[in-house]
Homo-oligomer: A and B are copies of this chain.
Amino acid sequence: MTIAELSPQIQAGKISPVELVTETLARIRRHQPALNAYITVMEESAMEQARQAEREIRTGHYRGPLHGIPYAAKDLFYTRGVATTAGSKILRDFVPDYDATVIERLREAGAILVGKTGLHEFAYGVTNNNPHFGPVHNPWDLARIPGGSSGGSTAALAAGLCTFSLGSDTGGSVRIPASFCGLVGLKPTFGRISRYGVFPLGHTLDHVGHFGLSVADVAAILGVLAGPDPRDDSSANEPPPRLDLSAEPGLKGFRLGVPRNYYFERLEPEAEAAVRAAIQVLRGLGAEMEEVEIQGIEDFTVLSRLILMPEATALHRARLKTRRADFGPDVLALLDQGQFILATDYLDAQRRRRQLVRGLDRLFDRVQAIVTPTTPTTAPKIGETMIKLGGQDEDVRLASTRLVRGLNLAGVPAISVPCGFDSKGLPIGLQIFGRAFDEYAVLRVAHAYEQASEWRKRRPPMAAL
């Protein structure tokens, strides 16, 4: 059940947070062995919070739509007194003494943290097979990856082991697993959500994001997470996003862009067909479709990699000396590469980035949002490293990130919503992005599409078990 379905019943006392959390924990026990979605399950504290929520609601202190709702957080959000591994061996025993701002905000909203989910090592590893914690499995097909790096959060949510979840997105790590697991995943604008207490990867690329079973749920969660934070100097002092999705149900007069370049190259035919069909649905909803050219989009992708490398290495440099043997081989190779990049090259990349972002911003004078595929393929198999697309062999990770990574450079809001299934029964994602701080446009298009389609109601068979 979605938050929107649960919360009126929780408020009315018809659904008990204690029962909801008890059932969620039972589902975790049942499915965790097959999925490996969680690194830490917080049974005791979750039950205690559920009892507290129940008391509060019974005595008339209802906090809002997340009150009593169980959620999961990628294991790089700091949780006071609870191990926060960042998927690494090095931090396996690290227990923060404070909560991330978003964890704090969710607690104040009454949401109940049931556990910390698996991820790529330091959110940076190439392989989905985390060398320290093993692979997370996709509930749609246990032989497949859920996508990364926030894959534990989407595996847990898709299988019904929580009602929403938190992720982070430095090069697509929210949108890719949303696409591969058939969920709604939002990366809001850079600066929209505090990063305080979130283990970093790339200082100018990291975004906090989140997953829900519907666009309305994702909007409700954003309402709690968004807002300035004096403890995070990248946090923006902007008015809160508009979130009233039912105000304008159709898309009449809404101007939507479809890129003519880059985004529709080398796609799996079934993925492309689903996205093209979704665009027809959007047109049917009254949106005015316009072909757009996203200038320099190849450079967006290349530069985001060049910028990330030294940023990640700078963060890990001390550990690279003292704990070299404790990194997985793929992370180590990336961190080593980052050591040799010159500051002037990094700064040139940042300068070119600013030019590109200005160019993209001008596009939003003509269209209010742009729709593309999220990923060129559905979920690959665990261990699969190369994939054939458009007759070319392509590295699986490069393929998964190539349609999403550029938007981390741009910092603009981007969502992935389910838009169909391939013949193997695997979900396909539609990416929608808009102007900086205009989450409303992105959510509105996603919501209108979702209402007009039936995909979101399709859940993996495991979710019913």
Whether A344 touches B313, Cβ cut-off 8 Å, given contacts A233-B358, A238-B237, A357-B233, is yes
- Starting from the known contacts A314-B347, A342-B342, 9 additional A-B residue pairs (CB-CB under 8 Å) come to A203-B350, A233-B357, A236-B237, A237-B238, A311-B347, A315-B351, A339-B342, A342-B343, A346-B346
Asked if A384 CB lies within 8 Å of chain B CBs, one says no
The proximity string for A residues 2-44 relative to B, scoring 1 for CB distances below 8 Å and 0 otherwise, is 0000000000000000000000000000000000000000000
The chain B residue sitting closest to A202, CB to CB, is B347
* A347/B344 in contact, CB under 8 A: no
A341 within 8 A of B: yes
List 16 interface pairs A-B (beta carbons < 8 Å), by A numbering: A203-B347, A203-B350, A233-B357, A237-B238, A314-B343, A314-B347, A317-B344, A317-B348, A338-B343, A339-B344, A341-B342, A341-B344, A342-B342, A343-B345, A343-B346, A346-B346
Complex alpha-carbon distance, A341 and B345, angstroms: 10
**Interface 0/1 of A398-420, CB less than 8 Å to B:** 00000000000000000000000
Is A434 an interface residue when CB atoms closer than 8 A count as contact? no
Q: Does A310 contact B (CB under 8 A)?
A: yes
Residues of B within 8 A of A61 (CB): none
Q: How far is the CA of A104 from the CA of B348 in the complex (A)?
A: 28
Complex: how many Å from CA A311 to CA B238? 28
Residue in B315, B341, B351 whose CB lies within 8 Å of A343: B341
Tier of interface size on chain A: 20 to 34
Question: Is there an interface contact between B347 and A347, defined as CB atoms closer than 8 Å?
Answer: no
What 8 pairs across the A-B complex have the smallest Cβ distances? A310-B343, A314-B347, A343-B346, A341-B343, A314-B344, A343-B343, A313-B344, A310-B344
Q: Are A347 and B346 in contact (CB-based, < 8 A)?
A: yes
Closest to A357 in B: B233
Q: In whole angstroms, how far apart are the Cα atoms of A235 and B229 in the complex?
A: 19
A310-B341 Cα distance, complex, nearest whole Å: 12
Q: Flag if A233 contacts B341 (CB, 8 Å).
A: no
* Cβ of A135 to closest chain B Cβ, rounded Å: 31
**What distance in Å separates the Cβ of A111 from its nearest Cβ neighbour in chain B?**
28
Taking the complex as formed, is A324 at the interface, i.e. its CB lies under 8 A from any CB of chain B? no
Residues of chain B within 8 A (CB-CB) of A351 are: 203, 314-315
Query: A348 to B318, alpha carbons, bound, how many Å?
Result: 11
A354 at the interface (CB under 8 A from B): yes
B-side contacts of A343, CB under 8 Å: 310, 313-314, 338, 341-343, 345-346
- Chain B residue with Cβ nearest A311: B347
A239–chain B nearest beta-carbon distance, Å? 10
Chain B: which residue is nearest A436 at the CB level? B233
A373 to B313 alpha-carbon distance, docked (Å): 39
* Chain B residue with Cβ nearest A437: B237
Binary B-proximity of A343-384 (CB < 8 A = 1, otherwise 0): 111111011001001100000000000000000000000000
Smallest beta-carbon distance A237→chain B, Å:
7
The residues of B that contact A347 with a CB separation of less than 8 Å are 203, 310-311, 314, 346
Say how far A380's CB is from chain B's closest CB, in angstroms: 32
Q: Looking at the assembled complex, report how far the CB atom of A106 sits from the nearest CB atom of chain B, in whole angstroms.
A: 24
Q: Which residues of A, 219-263, contact B by the 8 Å Cβ criterion?
A: 233, 236-238
Closest B-chain residue to A341, C-beta based? B343
Contacts of A345 in B (CB 8 A): 343
| Cα-based distance from A233 to B347 in the complex (angstroms) | 15
CB distance from A310 to the nearest CB of B (A): 3
**B314 touching A348, Cβ below 8 Å:** yes
With CB as the reference atom, state the residue of chain B lying closest to A309: B343
- The answer to whether B317 and A354 have CB atoms under 8 Å apart is no
Write the chain B residue with the least CB distance to A344.
B314
User: Which residue in B317, B344, B358 is a CB contact (below 8 Å) of A338?
Assistant: B344
Residues of A66-105 at the interface with B, using a CB-CB cut-off of 8 Å, are: none
Minimum C-beta distance from A463 to chain B (A): 42
* Residues from chain B with Cβ under 8 Å of A236 in the complex: 237
Looking at A236, A344, A351, A354, the one whose CB has the most chain B CB atoms below 10 A away is: A344
Closest to A314 in B: B347
Q: What residues of chain B lie closer than 8 Å to A358, measured between beta carbons? A: 233
Contacts of A311 in B (CB 8 A): 347
